[in-house]
């Protein structure tokens, strides 16, 4: 372990080797932090742990589940992880940890072990084999959770200062991945290390960063106005935390992707509850609050972000570069359950939340731009999308960048399912 790395960073790094050293370090960490003697330590190697680690252990007091999130350079970042009581006090359904550490580089939550599946696992099964009855149960549970979350947003919506907006840890998922965490230099952080001066390999085309960053996308016949390079530069300017105070702030989880949500069945109904509130806050910029859930629970599926090898077996994607345009053809499409979930997000969350902001006179004129740029940053900075850099292959990489561009840019002409989504949630449409 280097002088700069944290213990959680070292555990995440060693877990990749699966040689038992990560488990030994984790036992030491649990003993030092909580004075517990852990046995049967098991680290989960699942596709959803892109920036975190989770697993199980036993003590003489029973069975436990642990999870921690770890960002590179987190020791010099603003904000505090794991203010776990915030969501419970606001009345949201959230599993409370029995042990918690918020020390820099040693943030970890410990829960009593549950046998409920994560909502992400339930939905993956529906992606692969649709079951209308079970899909209806899942969508109803999602709708109920959205109503509960929206009630909290509307109750806690309040003016915030630029300093309050900048202090929220949710910014680590967006702006702070664009910059060097120590100096603030742009390009920096994940953006620079993932993409700048790198090579991009797709089925039918290979590009340098200079080429790729200046190339527009045409996806299944729809051309988009901005390049990937344009969108990163625009995100650095507009998703600056101090500029996000204009739409007020709310109490929010901030990172409620469905691998952080339990699915509990009771007869023909199901309920959802949060865990791992690593980025929870009381002054979360309102337009950021639902971004991660919208992208990672809908647009990242089916399969391409979390199961790229499977996606390459099921979907086709090809690219042809000509005249500064990357012409993409793909048969990827949202599955029935993801379409239903996007409909819930539109009707039961975004439309009502944006209307509330507009009614209170704090909806920025460029709200659509803010949300689209934030959606663009979700897949591009959660993991390296370049083929061969981590788990992505040329097909999944092309699908991923295509979805990122569709999320971030407006079409030059024509429409797509995301254009229709944004038109549907616009509170000023037809005014």
SS (H, E, C) the chain: CCCCCCHHHHHHHHHCCCCCHHHHHHHHHHHHHHCCCCEEEEECCCCCCCCEEEEEEEECCEEEEEEEECCCCHHHCCCCCCCCHHHHHCCCCECCCCEEECCCCCCEEEEECCCCCEHHHHHHHHHHCCCHHHHHHHHHHHHHHHHHHHHHHHHHCECCCHHHHHHCHHHHHCHHHCCCCCCCCCCCHHHHHHCCCCEEEECCEEEEHHHHHCCEEEECCEEECCCHHHHHHHHHHHCCHHHHHHHCEEEECCCCCHHHEEEEEECCEEEEEECCCCCCEEEEEHHHCCHHHHHHHHHCCCCCCCCHHHHHHHCCEEEEEECCEEEEEECCCCCHHHHHHHHHHHHHHHHHHHHHHHHCCCCCCCHHHHHHHHHHHHHHHHCCCCCCCCCCCHHHHHHHHHHHHHHHCCECCCCCHHHHHHHHHCCCCCC
- Domain count for the chain: 2
| Angle made by CA atoms 276, 278, 279, in degrees to the nearest 5 | 130
Q: Is residue 430 part of a domain?
A: no
Predicted confidence at residue 71, as pLDDT, reads: 64
For residues 186 and 90, membership in a common domain is answered with no
pTM: 0.90
* Closest by CA position to 259, among listed 120, 141, 70, 51: 120
Q: Are residues 324 and 411 in the same domain?
A: yes
246-288 pLDDT, tens digit per residue, is: 999 999 999 999 998 999 999 989 999 998 887 899 999 999 9
Please identify, among 50, 82, 112, the residue that sits at the C-terminal boundary of a domain: 112
Of 19-23, 36-40, 119-123, 220-224, the one with minimum mean pLDDT is: 19-23
108 shares a domain with 123:
no
Mean per-residue pLDDT for 35-63?
A: 88
Count of other CB atoms within 10 angstroms of residue 61: 9
CATH number at residue 43: 3.30.200
Q: Are residues 71 and 198 in the same domain?
A: no
361: pLDDT strictly greater than 50? yes
Answer yes or no: is 39 within a domain.
yes
Structure tokens at 247: 């739409």
The residue-averaged pLDDT of 218-227 equals 98
Q: Examine residue 2 and state whether it is found in any structural domain, yes or no.
A: no
Q: Which of 62, 95, 112 is the last residue of a domain?
A: 112
State in Å, rounded, how far the first CA of the chain is from the last one.
Answer: 59
Same structural domain, 81 and 153: no
Domain co-membership, 127 together with 59: no
* pLDDT tens, position by position, 366-423: 999 999 999 999 999 999 999 999 999 999 999 999 999 999 999 999 999 999 999 9
- Examine residue 394 and state whether it is found in any structural domain, yes or no: yes
pLDDT at residue 47 above 80? no
Mean pLDDT throughout 338-356?
Answer: 98
Q: 351 and 214, same structural domain?
A: yes
**Could you tell me if residue 13 is inside a domain?**
yes
pLDDT at 109: 87
Q: To the nearest 10°, the Cα dihedral for 234, 235, 236, 238? A: 80
User: Which of 95, 112, 129 corresponds to the end of one domain?
Assistant: 112
- Unique residue bearing structure tokens 């949500």: 261
Is 1 part of any domain?
no
Tell whether 48 and 148 lie within a shared domain: no
124 lies in some domain = yes
Q: Which domain holds residue 311?
A: 119-425
Q: Are residues 183 and 46 in the same domain?
A: no
Cα separation of 126 and 146, whole Å? 20
Tally Cβ neighbours within 10 Å of residue 291: 26
Same domain, residue pair 67 and 157: no
Instruction: Output the pLDDT for position 53.
Output: 86
Within 10 angstroms of residue 294's Cβ, the number of other Cβ atoms is 23
In a domain, 242, yes or no: yes
Is residue 42 located within the same domain as residue 174?
no
Q: Are residues 196 and 302 in the same domain?
A: yes
Summarize pLDDT for 61-96 with one digit per residue, the tens: 999 999 887 666 555 444 455 676 899 999 999 998
């Amino acid at each position: 372990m280097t002088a700069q790395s944290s213990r959680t960073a070292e555990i995440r790094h060693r877990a990749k080797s699966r040689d038992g050293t990560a488990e030994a370090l984790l036992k030491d960490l649990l003993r030092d932090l909580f004075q517990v003697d852990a046995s049967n330590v098991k680290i989960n190697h699942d596709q959803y742990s892109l920036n975190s680690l989770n697993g199980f252990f036993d003590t003489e007091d029973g069975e436990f589940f642990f999870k921690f999130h770890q960002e590179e350079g987190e020791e010099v970042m603003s904000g505090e992880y794991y203010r776990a009581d915030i969501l419970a006090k606001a009345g949201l359904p959230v599993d409370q940890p029995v042990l918690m550490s918020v020390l820099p580089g040693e943030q970890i939550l410990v829960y009593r072990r549950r046998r409920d599946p994560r909502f992400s696992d339930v939905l993956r099964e529906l992606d692969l084999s649709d079951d209308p009855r079970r899909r209806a149960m899942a969508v109803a549970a999602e709708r109920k959770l959205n109503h509960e979350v929206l009630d909290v947003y509307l109750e806690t919506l309040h003016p915030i200062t630029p300093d309050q907006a900048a202090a929220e840890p949710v910014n680590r998922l967006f702006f702070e991945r664009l910059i060097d965490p120590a100096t603030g230099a742009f390009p920096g952080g994940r953006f620079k290390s993932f993409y700048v001066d790198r090579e991009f390999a797709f089925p039918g085309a290979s590009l340098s960063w200079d080429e790729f960053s200046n190339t527009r996308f045409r996806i299944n016949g729809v051309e988009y106005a901005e390049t990937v390079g344009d969108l990163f530069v625009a995100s650095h300017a507009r998703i600056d935390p101090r500029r996000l105070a204009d739409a007020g702030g709310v109490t929010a989880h901030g990172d409620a992707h469905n691998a952080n949500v339990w699915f509990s069945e009771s007869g023909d109904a199901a309920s959802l509850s949060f865990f791992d509130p690593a980025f929870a806050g009381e002054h979360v910029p309102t337009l950021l609050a639902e971004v991660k859930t919208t992208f990672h629970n809908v647009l990242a599926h089916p399969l391409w972000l979390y199961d790229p090898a499977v996606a390459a077996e099921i979907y086709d994607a090809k690219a042809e570069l000509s005249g500064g345009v990357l012409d993409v053809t793909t048969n990827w499409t949202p599955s029935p359950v993801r379409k239903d979930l996007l409909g819930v997000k539109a009707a039961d969350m975004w439309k009502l939340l944006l209307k509330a902001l507009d009614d209170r006179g704090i909806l920025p004129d460029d709200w659509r731009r803010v949300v689209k740029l934030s959606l663009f940053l979700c897949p591009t900075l959660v993991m390296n999308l370049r083929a061969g850099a981590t788990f992505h292959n040329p097909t999944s990489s092309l699908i991923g960048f295509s979805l990122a561009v569709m999320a971030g840019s407006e079409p030059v002409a024509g429409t797509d399912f995301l254009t229709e989504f944004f038109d549907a949630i616009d509170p000023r449409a037809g005014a």
